[in-house]
A and B are shown apart, each in its own frame.
Chain A
Amino acid sequence: MEKFLKWIEEKFMPPMAKLAEQRHLRAIRDGIISTLSLIIVGSFFLIIAFPPVKAWSDAVAPYAGKILIPYRMTMGLMALYAAYGMGYSLAKSYKLDGVTGGVLSLAAFLMMTIPVNVDAVLKEAAKAGIKGAEPIGWALPMGNLGGAGMFAAILAMIIAVEILRFLKSHNVTLKMPEQVPESVSRSFEALIPAAVIIILLWFVRVWLNFDIQKFLMNIFEPVKGVAGNSIWGVIVPIFLITLLWSAGIHGASVIGSIIRPIWLVLLEENASALAAGKPMQNIAPEQFFQWYVWIGGAGATLGLAILLCFSKSEYLKKVGRFSIIPSIFNINEPMMFGVPLVMNPILAIPFILAPLVIGIISYIATSIGLVGRFAINAPWTLPAPIGAYFATNGSISGVILVLINIVISIVIYYPFFKVYEKRMLEEEKTEVVATKTGLNM
């Protein structure tokens, strides 16, 4: 086991870290992170529109449409915000102007969607006496700008910023005289790249009539299916994240940057199903892991933190005491390095095993409909039962599952904890003896 952990640290971690630190993946991660506050706030309007309490939900039902507008303008336009954020980050990583990169990426993304004008239909409808059917001019179909457009946004970001970089590095830009203020010259610098990007996408989307959005969705459909609705979508991320953590690497930060775009798409699909009053389809967006599996943080360590508090070992008890409260709020790094769980051949086993077991149990419970699915992005520092309650939009059975999972994690950690505790007690004893005999200088 010790050798194995060494192997992870030396052989497995570097390529994974390299992948996660890859420029474009980093831009995706940072761009998406910049939209998270909007997604969290927006998804809370989903809770307000569909509150878990029956009496309350009946009371707000007539206003649901109005309440959902902030949700539609945030989560419903997720890819739009992400296109800007990702373009900004990628441009920055090339030491280009971030705002220019963001704006060009946003334009490239919007060029992939064809606006529509349905005024003729609306006029007919108005004549037929349908309320609210007034001509609105040109409109963008929002369906492409939310989660479904995420892959297109990623492609738009790459196309836009790479063109910007290529033209700039080959000096194909309009140079302004020195006297021109920097902000003005900057916007002129982007003139040629902007023209190239817009004409290219205009040609492909409008003249070749190639639906980039649909094409990408079709490609990613199977990937999405595996990630969101198969047992592998649960097992693989849990295994990789805990594996990396047991070698001391922030697993979620590495693996998450690769899978997060897909997780977000899965969440958004569930959220729009909820908003439309349809059943949710996807089992495993990121929130599934956050609330059902990572109880107390990666490795489902709340169970271990509880065990530590009652340890006979002075040291472990001390670690337990400072770990228990952060653990309730899913912060476990100090505990990871305190116990330590990192590079610990004994505790690495339950650290990987416990989340896998509760992940599989939760997958089964979710797929047969015993517990709720996730549509809402609640802040990750909420205690797990409360977070699960909100994120599932009020699934009581989901809360019960969290409590069961805590018990299961305690049971799995217990034997390994005992072995480790025994070892610590022996060490503590020899230390005391050593101090007494003055050997511990």
Chain B
Amino acid sequence: MKVLMVCSGGMSSAIVVKAIKKEAEMQNFPLEIKAVGTGEFEEELKKGGYDLAIVAPQVKHRMDIFKEQAKNANVPVELIVPMGYTPIGAGKVLEQIKKYFK
């Protein structure tokens, strides 16, 4: 499963992404995840192949724009729960991701 995460600059999400990857490995869940800043989100989505886009909680004020961009690329969007956006909350995000696993 291929997931794209968007945060403000793509800096903090690197930490969270690492934790999610680790969690997925532990659970043997096939996950490919990448993080980008808000500016690169649309372009990256267009590259295609993404099954899901997840949005960091601190940029939820741009949710409407992300939704529109994701809709154009035909990718569902999910807002990460606040407590999930930490290294120890990775399990929660993975659960959110799994909901979309077909």
Contact = CB atoms under 8 A, between A and B. Distances in A.
Interface bin, chain A: 20 to 34
A101 to B, nearest CB: 16
A250 interface: yes
Interface in B26-79: 38-39, 56-62, 64-65
Contacts, number: 81
A282 to B, nearest CB: 25
Contacts of A335: 86
A30 interface: yes
B83 to A, nearest CB: 6
A334 B83 CA distance: 9
A30 B43 CA distance: 14
Interface bin, chain B: 20 to 34
A331 B15 contact: yes
Contact of A21 (B11, B15, B62): B62
Among A245, A319, A337, A381, which residue has the most Cβ atoms of chain B within 10 A? A337
Contacts of B88: 318-319, 322, 338
Question: What secondary structure prevails in chain A residues at the interface with B?
Answer: helix
Interface in B75-92: 82-89
B8 interface: yes
Contacts of A248: 57-58, 60, 82
Contact of B85 (A17, A326, A334, A343): A334
A340 interface: yes
Contacts of A331: 11-12, 15
Interface in A313-333: 318-319, 322, 326, 331-333
Interface in A70-97: none
A17 B39 CA distance: 16
A166 B60 CA distance: 32
Given A30-B39, A33-B39, A381-B11, A333 B62 contact: no
B94 interface: no
B89 A338 contact: yes
A332 B8 CA distance: 12
Given A319-B88, A340-B83, A333 B12 contact: yes
Contact of B8 (A17, A30, A250, A326): A250
A342 B82 contact: yes
A250 B58 contact: yes
Given A319-B88, A322-B88, A340-B82, A334 B12 contact: yes
Nearest to B87: A322
Contacts of A319: 86, 88
Nearest to A34: B39
A334 B60 CA distance: 15
B1 to A, nearest CB: 23
Of all A-B residue pairs in the complex, the 4 with the closest CB atoms, nearest first, are: A17-B61, A333-B12, A338-B86, A337-B85
Given A30-B39, A250-B58, A335-B86, 16 more contacts: A16-B61, A17-B61, A21-B62, A248-B57, A253-B8, A253-B59, A322-B87, A331-B11, A333-B12, A333-B13, A333-B56, A334-B16, A338-B83, A340-B82, A342-B82, A381-B11
16 contacts: A13-B61, A17-B61, A21-B61, A248-B57, A248-B58, A253-B38, A332-B12, A333-B56, A333-B85, A334-B12, A335-B86, A338-B85, A338-B86, A338-B87, A340-B82, A340-B83
